[in-house]
Structure 1
Amino acid sequence: MALKHRLIEAGFAAFRVSGLHRAVAPLTRGRGVILTFHRVRPFAPPTPGYAPNRLLEVEPDFFDAALALVRRLGFDFVSLAEARRRLVDGGPRFAAVTFDDGYRDTRDFALPILEKHAAPATVFFATGFLDRSARLWWLELEEALRRLDVATVAIDGRAVAVEARTPAEKTAAFERIYWALRARPEEELLAATGELARAAGVSSAEIAAELFMDWDEAAAFVERPLVAAGAHSRAHRMLAKGPKAEALAEMAGSKAALERRFGRAVEAFAYPVGDPTSAGRREFALAREAGFACAVTTRPGMLYAAHAAHLWALPRVSVNGMWQSLGDLESLLSGAPLLLWNRGRRVNVD
Structure 2
Amino acid sequence: MNFFPASFPRGGQAAKSAVLVLAGVAARARQRLAGQGSVLAFHGLRAEATPVGVQDSSLHLPVGTFRALCQHLAAHYHVMPLVEMATLLQAGQALPPRAVALSFDDGYASNYHLAYPLLREFHLPATIFLTTGFLDGTSPLWFQQVDLALSSQQPTASSASLGETLAELKALPDARMREKVQSWVKDLPPSPAPAVTQPLSWDQVREMQASGLIHFGGHTHTHPILARCTPEQQREEIFTCRRRILAELGQAPRIFAFPNGGSGDFTPETLALLAEAGFESAWTMVSGRATPASPCLSLPRYGAPESVWELEATVSGAFELLRQWKGGRA
Name the TM tier (shorter chain). 0.7 to 0.9
Cα distance in structure 1, aligned partners of 2:185 and 2:309: 39
Tell me which residue corresponds to 1:77.
Answer: 79
1:272 aligns to what SS in structure 2?
coil
Letter in 2 for 1:129: F
Aligned ranges 1:251-270 → 2 under 5 Å: 251-270=238-257
Point out 4+ residue stretches in structure 1 off by more than 4 angstroms. 6-14, 16-19, 205-210, 339-344
Tell me which residue corresponds to 1:233.
Answer: 220
Tell me which residue corresponds to 2:94.
Answer: 90
**Are 1:313 and 2:298 an aligned pair?**
yes
Query: Residues 18, 173 of structure 1: CA spacing in aligned structure 2 closer, same or farther, 3 A cutoff?
Result: same
1:300 aligns to what SS in structure 2?
coil
Letter in 1 for 2:183: E
**Are 1:189 and 2:177 an aligned pair?**
yes
| TM-score of the aligned structures, taking structure 2 as reference length | 0.84
The offset of 1:207, in angstroms, is: 6.5
Q: Contact 1:145–1:170 at 8 Å: present in 2 too?
A: no
2:279 aligns to what SS in structure 1?
coil
Q: Contact 1:29–1:302 at 8 Å: present in 2 too?
A: no
Identical pairs, percent: 27
Letter in 2 for 1:64: R
1:179 aligns to what SS in structure 2?
helix
Higher strand share: 1
The offset of 1:226, in angstroms, is: 0.6
Query: Residues 45, 60 of structure 1: CA spacing in aligned structure 2 closer, same or farther, 3 A cutoff?
Result: closer
| TM-score of the aligned structures, taking structure 1 as reference length | 0.79
Q: Contact 1:77–1:118 at 8 Å: present in 2 too?
A: no
Find the partner of 2:315 among 296, 313, 333. 333
Query: Residues 207, 279 of structure 1: CA spacing in aligned structure 2 closer, same or farther, 3 A cutoff?
Result: farther
Tell me which residue corresponds to 2:149.
Answer: 144
Find the partner of 1:301 among 288, 306, 309. 288
Aligned ranges 1:17-96 → 2 under 5 Å: 18-28=23-33, 30-45=35-50, 47=52, 52-73=55-76, 75-87=77-89, 88=91, 89-93=93-97, 94-96=99-101
Find the partner of 1:134 among 127, 139, 144. 139
1:236 aligns to what SS in structure 2?
coil
Cα distance in structure 2, aligned partners of 1:208 and 1:219: 21
The offset of 1:26, in angstroms, is: 1.6
Q: Contact 2:141–2:222 at 8 Å: present in 1 too?
A: no
Q: Which runs of 5+ in 2 are unaligned?
A: 1-10
Q: Which moved more, 1:184-193 or 1:232-241?
A: 184-193
Letter in 2 for 1:58: L
Cα distance in structure 2, aligned partners of 1:340 and 1:92: 23
2:172 aligns to what SS in structure 1?
coil
Paired residues in the alignment total 314
The offset of 1:108, in angstroms, is: 0.8
Q: Contact 1:285–1:312 at 8 Å: present in 2 too?
A: no
Alpha-carbon displacement from aligned partner over 1:315-338 (angstroms, at most 9, x marks no partner): 111215xxx221111111122324
The offset of 1:91, in angstroms, is: 4.3
Cα distance in structure 2, aligned partners of 1:235 and 1:38: 16
Aligned ranges 1:261-300 → 2 under 5 Å: 261-300=248-287
Alpha-carbon displacement from aligned partner over 1:177-220 (angstroms, at most 9, x marks no partner): 222222222222222222222233367x9569960023333233
Alpha-carbon displacement from aligned partner over 1:59-114 (angstroms, at most 9, x marks no partner): 222212212222444x3121122112332333413222111111111111111111
Tell me which residue corresponds to 1:112.
Answer: 117
Q: Contact 2:35–2:291 at 8 Å: present in 1 too?
A: yes
Query: Residues 270, 202 of structure 1: CA spacing in aligned structure 2 closer, same or farther, 3 A cutoff?
Result: farther
1:133 aligns to what SS in structure 2?
coil
The offset of 1:313, in angstroms, is: 0.9
Query: Residues 111, 311 of structure 1: CA spacing in aligned structure 2 closer, same or farther, 3 A cutoff?
Result: same
Cα distance in structure 2, aligned partners of 1:240 and 1:313: 14
Cα distance in structure 2, aligned partners of 1:318 and 1:209: 19
Q: Contact 1:30–1:303 at 8 Å: present in 2 too?
A: no
